[in-house]
Amino acid sequence: MVRTPAKVNLGLRVGSPRPDGYHPLATVYQAVSLYDEVKVRPAPAGDFSVTVTGEGADQVPTDDTNLAVQAAKRLAKTFTVHAGVAISIHKTIAVEGGLAGGSSNAAAALVACDALWGTDAGREQLLRIAAQVGSDVPFCLVGGNAVGSGRGEEVSPALARGVYEWVLAFADGGLPTAEVYAELDRMRGTDSLHQAQTPLELMGALRSGDPFQLGMALDNDLQPAALRLRPSLARTLDVGEEYGSLGSIISGSGPTCCFLAANEDHAVDIAVALSGSGVCRSVQRATGPVPGAQRVS
Ligand code: C5P
């Protein structure tokens, strides 16, 4: 079995779209302790299938568009493996939650199939295949704290100190990533050109290991677009802030709202307040950073 974490974008700067439609990014990812699990079983050549259980399972496609299936197929093609695979995914990470749940499953499928087929791909090759599957997949392989550039797929470790306590508030229903980027483009209009500048203040805060500094530096260019598409998230953010979170941010394209706490007790207080407030579907605590895709059996 391979388990992979969710990600939070502590900072996400988005540039104007490239000719291929993707947006150049400068982002700082942190992997947090909310995990999906992926198991693989051998199957006859050409037979790629997936079953999904757990949180939001009915919203996950089980055809060829499933990112774990795409990842397995790309690995098989790269190494001319004449085999198929039966993938089973158990989800805890909210679907279309801005937490890289699908990408996380793709990263897990790569690591699991690499072991099943004995392809011994190695880190660089896995990262290359991961980048072809989706922008967040390479980060889900490496985990920890990392800076993402390109369309998010070029990752390098970020210097960081500390373990951070998070409270995640899940919304009813997801937000499709492509729609949130499109809304940002609409809001910005075509008059000015935007560059994705590295969030230096945030990187300094991460190096300091001080959650108060980090809380103040959280910043996501996609947040106004996610709020425009889902105005009720403003209330969720307000409640976390009323209970003294050190900083709040919508993760990636949303709609999951993330609150940074000063310590574990503080995280429990914020989680209880959010749970009782009716402003979100459910609440979970997590810590970060944690490692990326890991074989656990
Ligand atoms: O790379 P991934 O398939 O995860 O991206 C999903 C969608 O999000 C893309 O089709 C694109 O519309 C949008 N996206 C973007 N710029 C990025 C990453 C994603 O516009 N850097």
Distance (angstroms) between ligand 1 centre and the Cα of 178 equals 6
- What letter does residue 244 receive in the DSSP assignment? T
Closest CA to 196 of 234, 222, 218, 215: 222
Residue in 7, 153, 181, 229 to alter for ligand 1 test, most ligand atoms within 8 A of Cβ: 181
Q: How far apart are CA 209 and CA 262, in angstroms?
A: 12
Distance (angstroms) between ligand 1 centre and the Cα of 177 equals 7
What pLDDT, on the 0 to 100 scale, is given for residue 259? 98
What pLDDT, on the 0 to 100 scale, is given for residue 191? 81
Residue in 135, 175, 188, 251 to alter for ligand 1 test, most ligand atoms within 8 A of Cβ: 135
Share of residues in the chain with pLDDT > 70 (%): 100
pLDDT digits (tens, 9 = 90+) for 130-180: 999 999 999 999 999 999 999 999 999 999 999 999 999 999 989 999 999
Share of residues in the chain with pLDDT > 90 (%): 98
Name the closest-CA residue to atom 20, ligand 1.
22
What pLDDT, on the 0 to 100 scale, is given for residue 67? 98
Q: Give 169's strand partners.
A: 257, 283
What pLDDT, on the 0 to 100 scale, is given for residue 34? 97
Distance (angstroms) between ligand 1 centre and the Cα of 135 equals 7
What pLDDT, on the 0 to 100 scale, is given for residue 297? 75
pLDDT digits (tens, 9 = 90+) for 92-113: 999 999 999 999 999 999 999 9
Distance (angstroms) between ligand 1 centre and the Cα of 183 equals 13
How large is the average pLDDT for residues 119-127? 96
**Reduced to 3 states, what is the DSSP secondary structure of residue 18?**
coil
pLDDT digits (tens, 9 = 90+) for 248-271: 999 999 999 999 999 999 999 999
Q: How far apart are CA 154 and CA 182, in angstroms?
A: 22
What residue ranges line ligand 1, CB within 6 angstroms? 22-23, 25, 134-136, 151-152, 177-178, 181
Question: Any idea which residues carry the catalytic annotation?
Answer: 7, 136
Name the closest-CA residue to atom 11, ligand 1.
178
Q: How far apart are CA 87 and CA 32, in angstroms?
A: 23
Average pLDDT over the chain reads: 97
**Reduced to 3 states, what is the DSSP secondary structure of residue 190?**
coil
Q: How far apart are CA 179 and CA 60, in angstroms?
A: 18
Distances in Å between the Cα of 163 and the Cα atoms of 26, 44, 208, 264, 291 are 22, 44, 12, 11, 12
**Which atom of ligand 1 is closest in space to residue 151's alpha carbon?**
21
Distance (angstroms) between ligand 1 centre and the Cα of 90 equals 24
How large is the average pLDDT for residues 114-125? 96
**Which atom of ligand 1 is closest in space to residue 135's alpha carbon?**
1
Q: In what order do the strands lie in the sheet with 164-170?
A: 247-250, 257-261, 164-170, 282-288
**Which atom of ligand 1 is closest in space to residue 25's alpha carbon?**
21
For residue 5, say if its preceding peptide bond is cis, omega within 30 degrees of 0: no
190 has a pLDDT exceeding 90: no
Answering whether pTM is above 0.85, one says yes
62 has a pLDDT exceeding 90: yes
